Amino acid sequence: MAQDMKHKKVAYYPGCALEGSGHAYNRSTKAVGKALGLDLVELKNWNCCGAMEVKNVDPKIQTYLSARNLSITEQMGFDTVMAPCNGCYHNLKKAEYDLAHDAGSKEVNSRLSQKAGHKTYEAGQVETIHALDWIKRSIGEDGIRARVKNSLKGLKIANYYGCMYTRPRHIFPEKDQGPGSESTAKPHFMDDILAAAGAENVDFPLKTACCGGAHTLSDSDTSTKLVLNILTAAEACGADVVATECPTCHTGLEMHQIRAEKVLGRKTNIKILYFTQLLGMALGLSAKTVGVNENFSDARPLLREKGLG
Amino acid sequence: MPIHEKSLIRPENLREQENLVIEGMDVSGHWSTFIESRAVTDYNEALQEEIAALPGGENIHRCWQCGSCTNACTVNAVNPEFNPRYWIYLIRLGMEDELLRDKDIIWQCVSCNKCTYACPRDVVPEGVMKATAHWLELKGHTPKSPSMLFDEVFAGQVIKTGRIEDGLVLRDFFKRTGQPLNQPWLVAMVLGLVKRFPLAYLIKLGIATIRPDRTRGWGRARDAINEYAEEVEAQNRKALGLGAKGAK
């Protein structure tokens, strides 16, 4: 039933967030992979991608950080690396673009790689994909429909993609390529996957709005306003749940949902879940297996009401 | 979304006219002069070059002032004074004093890249904002912003160990910015964490803040990055006509 054997076994780059605050995303991604018979082989000795921060010290250092991870992917014999975190995914894509188009980045990467004592990564050797691409390409909507044990029927979802999954456009050459490809203006891969799992997606205009993740601690008041805007819009659209595909967005939504209540006195009741948690439960995994108990916004009563988990 | 342009009415431009009669009509009261005629003599002709010399600012010369960046801007929707188009205009004209009026908010760019997405001229306004914030700090016009302090804490940890540990970054950042850890929302989050996370995982998180995860064999990469980072810093300072770090 698998559409694409190439993605049955891919290199896996969890990144720092998935080992910390995004633990539930790591757990649910692995559980979904196992349930679907997909192999994830973790990169050996990977390093942090630099997130949104190192580039402000110097962008070429950030490019090197991702180039090292791509070099490890290649050394392990893989031509595809999957990153579930938008930040990691974005930075691997950006490094790929810069190494192909910017002589300065290429030169610094080569110099740092030599000094660090590993093979210099050259553009074009490894393709970076997101967890959404991984599910779409390996199993696809038909594959999901055939495997759903516990349909998400009756659950209304606002799909939230954030910034780093689609912007800037030029580092995602495979997007905006017509039917079947992802759209940078109105992404739909998560919508497609969750619809196949039985959910009802609401028409959500803030799919790619910013949650202020880069300044979540350094300018918390701005981030709280941005998150409150996203959550109230999702509620106004009639959603029960905001589905996320990035640990920084997810943690930001959860943290500022609490902060909006404590600081601004604005309470929102919408629940925030990783798309892998929702997909996992549709595939018959328990709420505990996909780490729903680790989320701050407690979705368990809602899920019980809908007969899930 | 409407375009919020910067207000032209500034407190110093308001004039009180006690007895103003024009063509027999009494028009006394508060009047805004909007823009007073003046000769601008304080241009910094090197301003655009200096911003362009810093990482992110390279393409500023391409701007043709369409305003797509400000129209798309996330922060502008929260604060209308946050206006990338206007700042790019001032930098290109060399109007440093005008730019300095907004020196305390330029660092607030959240790097959502909506401007870069909308820009028809590949100016990369997000990069220009970061370069401008960096310029303000290097020139001593502003103290290090909370964002730059966060970047330094974060980058310091990545370069040292190859990895990041969330709790440690949060703790170091609060320490460096002098913020107490017992803020009501943070306390609520930690209590939620203790209540819901499996005990074994909490213990693992606790250990990680004391002895963070490291990338094995990272030492040589760390030394190479540090050496390069020092070079870049010296280059940036030189481009702005500043002496070596520490020397005044």
Q: What are the structural domains of chain A?
A: 5-130 (1.20.1050.140), 150-305 (3.40.50.11810)
pTM of structure: 0.92
B93-96: long-range pairs with CB below 8 Å, 24+: B93/B43, B94/B43, B94/B44, B94/B45, B94/B46, B94/B47, B94/B48, B95/B40, B95/B43, B95/B44, B95/B47, B96/B42, B96/B43, B96/B44, B96/B47
**Chain B interface test: which of A169, A218, A264 (most B C-beta within 10 Å):** A218
Extract the tokens encoding A158.
Answer: 């606002």
Q: pLDDT (tens digit, 9 = 90+) per residue, B113-128?
A: 999 999 999 999 999 9
CA atoms within 13 A of residue A278's CA, in its CB half-sphere: 34
Overall average pLDDT of the A99-117 stretch = 97
Cα-based angle A154, A236, A271 (whole degrees, multiple of 5):
55
Is residue A293 pLDDT above 80, yes or no?
yes
Q: pLDDT (tens digit, 9 = 90+) per residue, B13-22?
A: 788 889 999 9
pLDDT of amino acid B171: 86
Q: Domain B47-138: give its CATH code.
A: 1.10.1060.10
B110 to A210: CB separation less than 8 angstroms, yes or no? yes
A117 to B220: CB separation less than 8 angstroms, yes or no? yes
pLDDT of amino acid B184: 81
Domain segments of chain B: what residues? Answer: 47-138, 146-239
A293 to B196: CB separation less than 8 angstroms, yes or no? yes
CB-CB neighbors (< 8 A) of B80 in chain A = none
The amino acid that residue B39 corresponds to is A
- Exposed/middle/buried for residue B235 (C-beta within 10 Å: 0-12, 13-18, 19+): middle
pLDDT of amino acid A1: 41
The span from the CA of B231 to the CA of B237, in Å, is 10
Q: Is the ipTM of this complex over 0.90?
A: yes
Q: Which of A46, A222, A298 sits opposite B75 (nearest CB)?
A: A222
Query: How many other β-carbons are positioned within 10 Å of the β-carbon of residue B17?
Result: 13
Is residue B231 pLDDT above 60, yes or no?
yes
B151 to A56: CB separation less than 8 angstroms, yes or no? yes
Q: SS in 3 state form for chain B? A: CCCCCCCCCCHHHEEEECCCEECCEECCEEEECCCCCCCCCCCCCCHHHHHHHCCCCCCHHHCCCCCHHHHHCHHHHHCCCCCHHHHHHHHHHCCHHHHHCCCCCHHHCCCCCHHHHHCCCCCCHHHHHHHHHHHHHHCCCCCCCHHHHHHHHHHHHHHHHCCCCHHHHHHHHHHHCCCCCCCHHHHHHHHHHHHHCCHHHHHHHHHHHHCCCCCCCCHHHHHHHHHHHHHHHHHHHHHCCCCCCCCC
Is residue A249 pLDDT above 50, yes or no?
yes
Instruction: Judge whether A121 and A96 are in contact, CB under 8 Å.
Output: no
Is residue B211 pLDDT above 90, yes or no?
no
CB-CB neighbors (< 8 A) of A59 in chain B = 55-56
Overall average pLDDT of the A202-220 stretch = 95
Is residue B4 pLDDT above 60, yes or no?
no
Top-confidence residue, A90 or A297: A90
Is residue B195 pLDDT above 80, yes or no?
no
Q: pLDDT (tens digit, 9 = 90+) per residue, A26-48?
A: 999 999 999 999 999 999 999 99
Q: pLDDT (tens digit, 9 = 90+) per residue, A56-84?
A: 999 999 999 999 999 999 999 999 999 99
Q: Which of B150, B193, B220 sits opposite A218 (nearest CB)?
A: B150
Q: pLDDT (tens digit, 9 = 90+) per residue, B138-194?
A: 999 999 999 999 999 999 999 999 998 888 888 889 888 888 888 888 888 877 777
Distance from CA of A87 to the nearest CA of B (A): 12
Q: Which of B117, B185, B232 sits opposite A167 (nearest CB)?
A: B117
Q: Which of B113, B170, B215 sits opposite A47 (nearest CB)?
A: B215
Taking CA–CA distances from B131, the nearest residue in chain A reads: A56
Overall average pLDDT of the A98-126 stretch = 97
CB-CB neighbors (< 8 A) of B145 in chain A = 218
CA atoms within 13 A of residue A186's CA, in its CB half-sphere: 6
Q: pLDDT (tens digit, 9 = 90+) per residue, A150-176?
A: 999 999 999 999 999 999 999 999 999
Is residue A236 helix, strand or coil? helix
